[in-house]
């Protein structure tokens, strides 16, 4: 079962490498030029989209019908170095899916993605009416505008699909709207028709993206419940270059690394639901019920010094009654 699921992201990676056999060597060239011939982009961004654009176009004009490969290659190329596959406890996954994200997105929190690019399994989920097996997600820093973006590559039964959020102090709908406006502008410049920008209402698209964003926000929170059965106590991290006789170099992961998410919280959810059901039998007075999961954030640190925004996901809790 584990091997079968892992084959999906690996198949996508192999296909990208076959389509662009020069891509992986080009990555090393761009990495060595970072902060020298090229701007010094943030550490949380593996490689800016402008570099992937150059890789796909081979430094010339973009071949017709290949612009979508820039987004595809950027997600898969960054994932190649860790190959992290995240499996979320089913009950916790359901609770995250129902968590409402209201108000401005905590943009700084999203910059704490545990790895450059990750793959999250989403069994039983659908993207509109299409089965979605999982999604890649990574961060982008626009070289021209210095804009931060959260970029999704959806693994659906209908192929890979691209979704983008512009990160900033605004709502999910506003983040989607800003990304769609940019997509329309770029499509006009490149004479490419954007079906999504023309046919999907922003709010509907935001509702589809919100469950995925909730997962990413949890993985970026201060104390996510992430475990590795092979290495207890370990946690995902961004790899560091290895020193070789030709200088420092990044090496891709040998094989997929599976991370289990929400094992403890999932069991707590099941226990809580079980207790509520038991207490409702023959109970007089107000019945206990579950309060929906929500986000809680506070600023920590001295008022006059460097402060950090601590953001955590609070699972469903029992209210209106004592168990």
SS3 for 269-287 is HHHHHHHHHHHHCCCCCCC
Residues 29 and 67 in one domain: yes
State whether residue 98 is helix, strand or coil: helix
Q: 309 in a domain, yes or no? A: yes
pLDDT at residue 190, as a whole number: 41
Q: Which of 235, 259, 283 is the last residue of a domain?
A: 259
Residues 79 and 177 in one domain: yes
Lowest average pLDDT, out of 109-113, 150-154, 164-168, 300-304, goes to 300-304
Q: Greater confidence, 6 or 279?
A: 6
* pLDDT single digits (tens) 234-260: 889 999 888 888 777 889 999 999 999
pLDDT at residue 149, as a whole number: 97
pLDDT at residue 189, as a whole number: 45
Alpha carbons within 13 A on the beta-carbon side of 148: 18
At 38, phi and psi to the nearest 5? Answer: -120, 160
Residues 96 and 196 in one domain: yes
- The answer to whether residue 47 scores a pLDDT higher than 90 is yes
pLDDT at residue 293, as a whole number: 66
Residues 249 and 274 in one domain: no
Q: How far is CA 10 from CA 66, 73, 137, in A?
A: 21, 13, 15
pLDDT at residue 124, as a whole number: 95
**Smallest Cα–Cα separation from 220: which of 127, 303, 142, 108?**
108
Residues 168 and 276 in one domain: no
User: H/E/C letters for each residue in 13-47?
Assistant: HHHHHHHCCCHHHHHHHHHHCECCCECCCCCCCCC
Residues 280 and 255 in one domain: no
Residues 210 and 309 in one domain: no
Q: 274 CB contacts (<8 Å, ≥6 apart)?
A: none
Q: 265 in a domain, yes or no? A: no
Q: 107 in a domain, yes or no? A: yes
Reported as a pLDDT band with limits 50, 70 and 90, residue 280 is low
Residues 43 and 86 in one domain: yes
- The answer to whether residue 77 scores a pLDDT higher than 90 is yes
Residues 214 and 119 in one domain: yes
Q: Environment class of residue 32 by beta-carbon count within 10 Å: exposed (0-12), middle (13-18) or buried (19+)?
A: middle
Q: 203 in a domain, yes or no? A: yes
Rounded to whole angstroms, how far apart are CA atoms 149 and 143?
12
Q: 27 in a domain, yes or no? A: yes
Percent with pLDDT over 90 in the chain: 50
Residues 214 and 281 in one domain: no
Reported as a pLDDT band with limits 50, 70 and 90, residue 180 is confident
Q: 72 in a domain, yes or no? A: yes
Residues 302 and 172 in one domain: no
Q: Which of 259, 279, 296 is the last residue of a domain?
A: 259
Using the 8-state DSSP alphabet, how is residue 221 labeled? S
Span 26-35, mean pLDDT?
A: 90
Q: Give the count of domains, the chain.
A: 2
pLDDT at residue 43, as a whole number: 94
Alpha carbons within 13 A on the beta-carbon side of 274: 7
- The answer to whether residue 214 scores a pLDDT higher than 50 is yes
pLDDT at residue 6, as a whole number: 67
Distance of CA 170 to the CA centre of its chain: 18
Reported as a pLDDT band with limits 50, 70 and 90, residue 323 is very low
pTM of the model: 0.86
- The answer to whether residue 290 scores a pLDDT higher than 80 is no
Span 163-185, mean pLDDT?
A: 89
- The answer to whether residue 131 scores a pLDDT higher than 80 is yes
Q: Which domain does 228 fall in, by range?
A: 2-259
- The answer to whether residue 230 scores a pLDDT higher than 60 is yes
Residues 38 and 163 in one domain: yes
What's the mean pLDDT when you consider all of the chain? 84
Q: Name the H helices within 138-262.
A: 172-190, 195-199, 202-219
- The answer to whether residue 306 scores a pLDDT higher than 70 is no
pLDDT at residue 69, as a whole number: 95
As a residue count, the chain comes to 323
Q: 234 in a domain, yes or no? A: yes
pLDDT at residue 276, as a whole number: 61
Q: Which long-range contacts (CB under 8 A, 24 or more apart) does 131-134 make?
A: 131/156, 131/157, 132/156, 132/157, 133/5, 133/8, 133/157, 134/8, 134/9, 134/85
Going by their DSSP bridges, the two strands 117-127 and 130-141 should be labelled as antiparallel
Q: 264 in a domain, yes or no? A: no
Q: Which of 259, 279, 294 is the last residue of a domain?
A: 259
Rounded to whole angstroms, how far apart are CA atoms 128 and 116?
27
- The answer to whether residue 3 scores a pLDDT higher than 60 is no
State whether residue 306 is helix, strand or coil: coil
**Across the strands, what pairs with 227?**
260
Range ranked top by mean pLDDT from 4-8, 41-45, 275-279? 41-45
Percent with pLDDT over 70 in the chain: 79
Q: Environment class of residue 150 by beta-carbon count within 10 Å: exposed (0-12), middle (13-18) or buried (19+)?
A: buried
Span 104-114, mean pLDDT?
A: 91
């Amino acid at each position: 079962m584990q091997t079968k699921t892992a084959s999906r992201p690996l198949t996508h990676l192999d296909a990208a490498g076959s389509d662009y056999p020069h891509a992986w060597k080009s990555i090393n060239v761009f990495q060595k030029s970072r902060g020298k011939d090229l701007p010094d982009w943030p550490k949380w961004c593996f490689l800016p989209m402008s570099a992937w654009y150059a890789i796909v176009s081979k430094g010339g004009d973009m071949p017709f019908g290949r612009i979508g490969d820039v987004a595809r290659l950027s997600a898969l190329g960054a994932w190649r170095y860790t190959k992290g596959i995240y499996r979320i406890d089913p009950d916790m996954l359901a609770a995250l899916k129902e968590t409402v994200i209201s108000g401005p997105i905590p943009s700084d929190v999203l910059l704490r993605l545990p790895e450059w690019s990750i793959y999250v399994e989403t069994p039983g989920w659908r993207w509109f009416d299409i089965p979605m097996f999982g999604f890649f997600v990574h961060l982008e820093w626009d070289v021209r505008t210095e804009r931060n973006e959260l970029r999704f590559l959806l693994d659906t039964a209908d192929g890979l699909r691209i979704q983008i959020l512009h990160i900033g102090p605004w709502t999910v709908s506003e983040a989607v709207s800003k990304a769609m406006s940019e997509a329309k502008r770029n499509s006009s410049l490149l004479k490419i028709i954007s079906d999504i920008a023309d046919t999907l209402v922003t709010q509907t698209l935001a509702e589809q993206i919100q469950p995925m964003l909730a997962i990413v926000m949890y993985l970026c929170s201060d104390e996510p419940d992430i475990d590795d059965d092979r290495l207890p106590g370990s946690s995902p991290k961004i790899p560091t270059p290895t020193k070789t006789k030709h200088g420092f170099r990044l090496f891709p992961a040998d094989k997929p690394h599976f991370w289990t998410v929400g094992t403890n919280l999932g069991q707590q959810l099941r226990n809580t639901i079980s207790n509520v059901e038991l207490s409702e039998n023959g109970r007089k007075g107000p019945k206990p019920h579950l309060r929906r999961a929500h986000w809680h954030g506070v600023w920590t640190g001295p008022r006059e010094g460097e402060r950090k925004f601590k953001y955590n996901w609070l699972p469903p809790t029992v209210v209106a009654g004592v168990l």
